[in-house]
């Protein structure tokens, strides 16, 4: 028996035999061609077949995992039709006079590497999407490399170097007990889809992946991230008990829908959800969140080739507000810069971008860009309960500049006879030590605080959360970080405003009681964590 450690990407426990999937990388051959036009024609045919297949997968995904999680396949089609990406494949064929399979493989790897080295976790997760697209092209170019996931003869635990989103969504849940991968991250779409579909998954096994062989008996623990190779009888027995307990727990969580997060002594906490796209609202509603605590508006910019227009933004915000049907929606103004770059913004190169021109600093520097977003937000405010939140605040002067611009936008809209709600809330993110230290002053200017624990931890501990060499030092439970949070909560209470947490540690149930005790009013987490957190609050007895 051997225990191999990976990253638990989707909770659950599976016990069964392993099926190793074909790795395309091992079968790609670089061949010299003489007829470039014929090769380009082959590529175009493969592209057309890929688009057709992706449309079919999208329709299947709509039924299986809902609109929010199926939109990735529409994005795949857009990426496949992107002039830069597809044009790069064609250029490799023309300039190097090589076969289309190799050109697609090479280009996919280059773009994937580019995404993988970005600081932002979401963008790193997109590295697998590029590989998915290139693999689909390759399979349509050479049918011998077709994947066997859809032809499993018995229920199996699937092992692959990486599983693409399109492969994950086509899995038959009756035949796929779990999956393990050599590569991948918690934020990849495959991991997200696995969580949505309820398939246990462990990813990021790295070099340890080489220890697995087809037909191995294994246990996959998606909770701890452990994969147990050739388990003994006692371990098998123990895990069967754990498996039963986990399944019962999941059913019990569903019974919490319609209830509130109220402690045993009557303290109520608002449990909201974080989203990045309008389509994610379906998952928010499915998990019965009290509202949306963080809509990351920057993804509207990151997934566009140019600045999204006022109308495009207005439609996106309006859609979310309408779907939430009166529940509060907190929309964060664009948080670009640092690890979230868009080429058309044309930001200067910075040696230390995490402390450079980013977030609200860009907005106040490029006020035309900011006003466009504010106009869209205010116009949408009539369709629901809107709150607007501003990131990376370090001074009272910044808040006053923002409020002045909002008044200008209100005045302009009034002159244009365009309606907007008169009573939306304004809040700021507390994610720097500076904002914590002057939180008593900032609290006089706004309606709420939302603590971004990811950046607050990074800046407080002087630990780059993307640096694997010092990742053990990144600790959101560090006493210094917790004192920063407590100080912020005290300032908010004294000023009579509410305070929430929208960073990763909001979902850390080991901290939930502490947060309730110090006066945190709201916690915002990924939609799939809402019911688990609600249960944690309901079990607290402060007496």
**Residue 399 CA from chain centroid, whole number:** 28
301 burial (CB, 10 Å; 0-12 / 13-18 / 19+) is buried
Is the C-alpha dihedral spanning 175, 177, 182, 187 positive or negative? Answer: positive
Cβ contact 385:327 at 8 Å: yes
Distance in angstroms between the alpha carbons of the first and the last residue of the chain: 46
Beta bridge partners of 388: 331, 426
Place of tokens 């830069």: 84
Q: Which residues contact 146 (CB under 8 A, 6 or more apart)?
A: 139
117 assigned to active site: no
Q: Reduced to 3 states, what is the DSSP secondary structure of residue 216?
A: coil
Both tokens of 280, joined, read: 């994610």
Other Cβ atoms within 10 Å of 144 Cβ, number: 7
> One of 76, 189, 249, 277 is an active-site residue; which one?
189
SS (H, E, C) 71-123: HHHHHHHHHHCCHHHHHHHHHHHHHHCECHHHHHHHHHHHHHHHHHCCCCHHH
Cβ contact 217:230 at 8 Å: yes
Q: How far apart are CA 207 and CA 210, in angstroms?
A: 6
> One of 21, 76, 363, 502 is an active-site residue; which one?
502
Q: How far apart are CA 464 and CA 458, in angstroms?
A: 6
For residue 216, what are the CA distances in angstroms to 24, 111, 219, 230? Answer: 22, 34, 10, 7
Beta bridge partners of 514: none
Phi, psi of 12 (to 5 degrees): 140, 165
349 assigned to active site: no
Sequence-ordered alpha helix ranges (H) in 117-232: 121-125, 127-141, 165-169, 189-197
Q: How far apart are CA 328 and CA 381, in angstroms?
A: 11
Q: How far apart are CA 519 and CA 514, in angstroms?
A: 9
The set of catalytic residues is 189, 502
């Amino acid at each position: 028996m051997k225990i191999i450690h990976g990253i638990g990407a989707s909770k659950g426990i599976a016990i069964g035999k392993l099926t190793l999937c074909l790795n395309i990388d091992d079968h790609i051959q670089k061949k010299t061609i003489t007829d470039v036009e014929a090769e380009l024609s082959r590529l175009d045919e493969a592209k057309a077949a890929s688009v057709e297949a992706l449309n079919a997968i999208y329709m299947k995904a709509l039924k299986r995992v809902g609109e929010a999680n199926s939109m990735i396949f529409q994005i795949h089609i857009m990426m496949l039709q992107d002039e830069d990406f597809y044009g790069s494949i064609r250029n490799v064929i023309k300039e190097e006079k090589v076969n289309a399979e190799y050109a697609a493989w090479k280009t996919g790897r280059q773009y994937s590497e580019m995404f993988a080295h970005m600081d932002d976790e979401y963008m790193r997760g997109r590295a697998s999407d590029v590989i998915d697209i290139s693999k689909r092209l390759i399979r349509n170019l050479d049918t011998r490399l077709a994947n066997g996931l859809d032809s499993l003869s018995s229920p199996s635990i699937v092992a692959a170097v990486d599983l693409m989103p399109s492969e994950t969504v086509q899995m038959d849940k009756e035949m796929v007990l779990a999956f393990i991968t050599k590569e991948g991250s918690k934020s990849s779409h495959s991991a997200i889809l696995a969580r949505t579909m309820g398939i246990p998954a462990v990813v990021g096994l790295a070099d340890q992946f080489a220890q697995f062989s087809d037909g191995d008996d294994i246990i996959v623990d998606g909770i701890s991230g452990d994969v147990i190779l050739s388990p003994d009888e006692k371990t098998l027995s123990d895990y069967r008990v754990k498996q039963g307990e986990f399944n019962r727990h999941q059913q019990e969580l569903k019974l919490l829908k319609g209830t509130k997060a109220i402690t045993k002594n009557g303290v109520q906490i608002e449990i909201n959800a974080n989203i990045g796209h309008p389509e994610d609202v379906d998952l928010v509603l499915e998990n019965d969140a009290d509202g949306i605590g963080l809509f990351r508006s920057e993804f509207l910019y990151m997934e566009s080739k140019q600045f999204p227009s006022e109308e495009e933004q207005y439609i996106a915000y309006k859609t979310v507000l309408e779907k939430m049907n009166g529940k509060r929606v907190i929309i964060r103004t664009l948080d670009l810069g640092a690890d979230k770059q868009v080429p058309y913004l044309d930001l200067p190169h910075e040696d230390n971008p995490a402390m450079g021109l980013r977030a609200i600093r860009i907005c106040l520097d490029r006020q035309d860009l900011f006003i466009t977003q504010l106009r869209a937000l205010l116009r949408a405010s009539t369709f629901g309960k809107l709150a607007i939140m501003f990131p990376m605040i370090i001074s009272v002067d910044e808040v006053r500049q923002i409020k002045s611009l909002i008044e200008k936008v209100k005045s302009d809209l009034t002159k244009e006879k365009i309606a907007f709600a008169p009573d939306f809330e304004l809040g700021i993110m507390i994610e720097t030590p500076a904002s914590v230290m002057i939180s008593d002053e900032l609290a006089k200017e706004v309606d709420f605080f939302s603590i971004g624990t990811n950046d607050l931890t990074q800046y407080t501990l002087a630990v780059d959360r993307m640096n694997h060499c010092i990742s053990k030092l990144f600790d959101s439970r560090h006493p210094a970080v917790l004192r920063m949070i407590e100080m912020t909560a005290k300032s908010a209470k004294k000023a009579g405003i509410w305070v929430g947490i929208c960073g990763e540690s909001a979902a850390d149930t080991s901290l939930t009681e502490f947060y309730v005790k110090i006066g945190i009013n709201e916690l915002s987490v990924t939609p799939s964590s809402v019911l688990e957190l609600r249960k944690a609050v309901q079990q607290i007895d402060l007496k």
